[in-house]
A and B are shown apart, each in its own frame.
Chain A
């Protein structure tokens, strides 16, 4: 018997995979139609539950990559070898399959373009995902709204081929209100003129708005990157309460 949804309760919903897209050699996007999806704010995540035939279950959390304005929900999955869940989501799950999700979850690492003022995003690796939802949300706003909320992204990836959403980021950066800076830490094309090192103080100082402009700052990536970037931003004068962090590496 169907159970009525309890207000304020996060029920599991069986979403349908409607699209699968390869992003990089190790990452793919699942686009889901979620029945009665209540909508989300950029930066939130969902829980995914996989139940095996014998009732065994596994759960993981994935950030939402799509803008709140989109009707479907996109999740980006980075495949980890020898892991329990990500190989299933990357290799086994296909268009038409069902997938249990509940959400949206999290109300702190979130941003809405209506909160005008400069936005500074720092991403490491797959930490780009919730920040991409913010940029996609930004891109859908009216020109005048966007002008009030100029955005800058500093994105660190191992190599050119590891830059997730590369072409879309190039398109987004065509806007006068979006600035994208890449840092390639391990391997860069021969003609690469951008940064070839990890995010450091000089790079943050050069890329971020001055503290006097009180940007809203979101940092997401592996723990060492987040610890370092957040501490450096505080040292550069940014109020710690304006620096919001989410630490995640790949999830098995």
Chain B
């Protein structure tokens, strides 16, 4: 960076414990803070579904039971929120996005370079396809051995732990496959299109 950092007079701070790797500007929390832009949606699993579609009219839909019948992963991952907290070693259960994309492809859904995740309540977020494939992203419905709580995105949220956590859309209902990037809810309001915490991509232009 070209900037000379401004030293805060008398600030010493607290270094993370030895061996702990925190992205720049983040601090560790043991809690699981909740951040959402609106009320928590309540949905019935009987009518819940998950859809992957393209803009040519192809789509693949899974009911709750269909999703549960797919192979489950149990990733343990660190998560990083753009509001500065990071939480280490969180335990999740879900289905790999790779598995769902394979199913969508088999149903005729086109490939693309980007996805726009969409959720109950109208939330959206955009991601490069490369960030949700290769074993890096899940459709998660379990947290810490229990069903994912509504305030944390239950019944189902996207989990993309290597990006800032607003990309891990709560209450997710599907993915739109896109050839060109299309900004989601926070991205239209100035947040970064990719959101890599290690490169501190918090806002557009970072």
Is A243 at the interface (CB under 8 A from chain B)?
Answer: yes
Q: Of A1, A49, A107, A226, which one neighbours B25 at CB under 8 angstroms? A: A49
Q: Is the interface of A mostly helix, strand, loop or mixed?
A: mixed
CB-CB contacts of A192-230 with B at 8 A, as 1s and 0s? Answer: 000000000000000000000000000000010011001
Q: Does A109 contact B (CB under 8 A)?
A: yes
**Would you call B20 an interface residue if the criterion is a C-beta within 8 Å of the partner chain's C-beta atoms?**
no
Q: Is the CB of A88 within 8 A of B8?
A: yes
CB contacts (< 8 Å) of A55 on chain B: these are 5
Are A51 and B6 CB-contacts (below 8 A) given A61-B84, A107-B189?
A: yes
By a CB distance below 8 angstroms, the chain B residues around A108 are 37, 185-186, 189
Judge whether B121 is part of the interface by a CB distance below 8 angstroms: yes
Chain B nearest CB from A57 CB (Å) reads: 6
Q: Is the CB of A9 within 8 A of B6?
A: no
| Chain A count of residues within 8 A CB distance of the other chain | 51
Query: Complex Cα distance A231/B189, Å?
Result: 25
Give chain A residues whose Cβ lies under 8 Å from the Cβ of B2. Answer: 1, 3
Stretch at the interface among A96-104, A133-141, A152-160: A96-104
Chain A residues near B189 (CB-CB < 8 A)? 106-108
Within 8 Å CB of A20, what residues of B? none
**Closest CB-CB distance, B150 to chain A, in whole Å?**
9
Determine the interface band of chain B, counting residues with CB < 8 A from chain A: 35 or more
Q: Which residue of B lies closest to A49 (CB)?
A: B25
Known A8-B205, A100-B6, A252-B27: A230·B12 in contact at CB below 8 Å: no
Cβ-closest chain A residue relative to B189: A107
Question: In whole Å, how far is A27's beta carbon from the nearest beta carbon of chain B?
Answer: 20
B84 touches A109 (CB 8 A): no
A114 on the interface (CB 8 Å rule)? no
Q: Beyond A12-B3, A100-B8, A240-B121, is A58–B27 a contact (Cβ under 8 Å)?
A: yes
List residues of chain A with CB within 8 A of the CB of B25. Answer: 49, 57-59
A247 touches B36 (CB 8 A): yes
**Are A231 and B8 interface neighbours, CB within 8 A?**
no
Q: Does A233 lie at the interface of the complex (its beta carbon under 8 Å from any beta carbon of B)?
A: yes
User: Is the pair B151, A223 in contact by a Cβ cutoff of 8 Å?
Assistant: yes
> Is residue B180 within 8 Å, beta carbon to beta carbon, of the partner chain?
no
Known: A50-B11, A98-B6. A227 touches B151 (CB 8 A): yes
Chain A contacts with B in 44-82, Cβ cutoff 8 A: 47, 49-53, 55-61
Decide: A244 near B204, CB < 8 A? Known: A14-B6, A52-B7, A98-B6. Answer: no
Partner of A109, one of B10, B26, B34, B37: B37
Chain B residues in 8 Å Cβ range of A98 = 6, 8-9
Nearest residue, chain B, Cβ from A88: B11
Residue of A with least CB distance to B41? A240
Given A1-B2, A108-B189, A227 contacting B11 (CB threshold 8 A): no
Q: How far is it, in angstroms, between the C-alpha of A17 and the C-alpha of B154 when the chains are bound?
A: 43
- Is the pair B35, A247 in contact by a Cβ cutoff of 8 Å? yes
Q: Is B27 a contact of A84 with CB atoms below 8 Å?
A: yes
> A60 — which chain B residues lie within 8 A by C-beta?
84
Per-position 1/0 for B22-59, Cβ under 8 A of A: 00111100000111111111000000000000000000
Q: Which residue of B lies closest to A9 (CB)?
A: B205
Q: Which of B133-176 contact A (CB under 8 A)?
A: 151
Q: Does A147 sit within 8 A of B, measured CB to CB?
A: no
* List of A residues within 8 angstroms of B33 by Cβ: 223, 247, 249
Residues of B within 8 A of A61 (CB): 83-84
Q: Which 8 residue pairs across A and B have the least CB separation, nearest first?
A: A9-B205, A107-B189, A59-B25, A230-B39, A50-B8, A223-B34, A51-B5, A50-B11
Contacts A8-B190, A84-B13 aside, 6 further interface pairs with beta carbons under 8 A come to A12-B3, A12-B6, A51-B11, A52-B7, A107-B188, A231-B39
